[in-house]
Amino acid sequence: MRVKNFTVSIAVFLQLLIIDACGSGQNNSWDSQKYARHGQSQMMDAQAVISQLPDDKLSRILDVGCGTGTSTQLLLDRYPQAEVTGIDPSQSMINYANHRFSYNRRVQLLKFSAEDYIAEKPYDMVFSSFALHWIPKESMPLALKNIGRNLRNGGILCCIFSSSKVGLPFQRALDKTLSDRCFLKLFSKFKDPQVFYTVDEFRCILEKEGFFINEIGYFFNKKTYLSIESLRKWVGQWLSYSRYLVSVSHYEYKKFMDVLMKNYMTESKQVSGSPVTWGEYVLIAKAKKTVDK
């Protein structure tokens, strides 16, 4: 595994990062309100990456998987002359973002997935933050082909998304929790929709779809949360197993998260009552469109 340190230029990432989260027949929909309240970690990761993007004067940017509009706002701030289109397959997310940008004429928000959105005019840059790993593996080539169609030649693609957590304390804690007989039946028909790629796998797909790779690699992303409750709220809003349980039973959801957090503290050898550390690998890719496909 090729690993780089997750170095960024904004000051808050150069220090110990402390986050206090605010207050198939599978139902695995997103709760935009919960995501907005507890998604600060994704926001700070996106900010770190966007801060290192080139200073080119871009006029049109596409934000794939814009969610509640946090990354959209960061792009607006980074490129004050640009218009930003945000797309997301979740109507809940689009509704939230529309309310957020109701008076901003530089923003257009549309309910589309990466696989089916076709723009009337090409974009100078496509950005995606923690969205591509939710695209089914068989659909990823089409998604990247479509992203290429929406980019001008020489346009920039920048994406950051989750990588496999195998071997890390959280994955050990999750595996231990899922093997608990209390939860075996609950998840008997559930399949995690997340797809994790190796660097070489994602590089091959990008190159096949006409992209020139400027930079690609794993980055180890380490954070510290003020409490186990802060970490719990953050994990609960993105983990597919917990989102699935919300639709099944609030009691089962609470029990699952209780056991998962207890197992995480054990596997990571941390003590309750103290700030809690979290570490994971993320995959960041920066590429340019070179040919039409």
pLDDT at 31: 59
Instruction: Estimate to the nearest angstrom the gap between the alpha carbon of 172 and the chain centroid.
Output: 21
Over the chain, what is the mean pLDDT?
85
Give the confidence band of 35 by pLDDT, cuts at 50, 70, 90: low
Bridge partners for 61 per DSSP: 84, 125
CA distance 73 to 97: 10
pLDDT at residue 17 tops 70:
no
Judging by beta carbons within 10 Å of its beta carbon (0-12, 13-18, 19+), is residue 95 exposed, middle or buried? middle
> Please, are residues 260 and 177 in contact by the beta-carbon 8 Å criterion?
yes
pLDDT at 292: 65
Contacts of 105 (CB under 8 A, 6+ apart): none
CA distance 204 to 206: 5
pLDDT at 237: 84
Q: What is the dihedral of CA 291, 141, 174, 182, to 10 degrees?
A: 160
Give the confidence band of 33 by pLDDT, cuts at 50, 70, 90: low
> Please, are residues 259 and 178 in contact by the beta-carbon 8 Å criterion?
no
- Determine the longest span between alpha carbons in the chain, in angstroms: 56
Residues 135, 141, 147, 149, CA torsion sign: negative
pLDDT at 118: 94
Angle between helices 199-208 and 140-149 (to 10 degrees): 50
Give the confidence band of 27 by pLDDT, cuts at 50, 70, 90: very low
What number of other Cβ atoms are within 10 A of residue 147's Cβ? 26
pTM of the model: 0.85
For residue range 269-278, list pLDDT tens digits in order.
998 888 999 9
Q: Where are the domains of the chain?
A: 3-165+192-227+275-289
Judging by beta carbons within 10 Å of its beta carbon (0-12, 13-18, 19+), is residue 16 exposed, middle or buried? exposed
pLDDT at 8: 37
CATH 3.90.550.10 fits 3-165+192-227+275-289, yes or no: no
For residue range 140-192, list pLDDT tens digits in order.
999 999 999 999 999 999 999 989 999 999 999 999 999 999 899 899 888 98
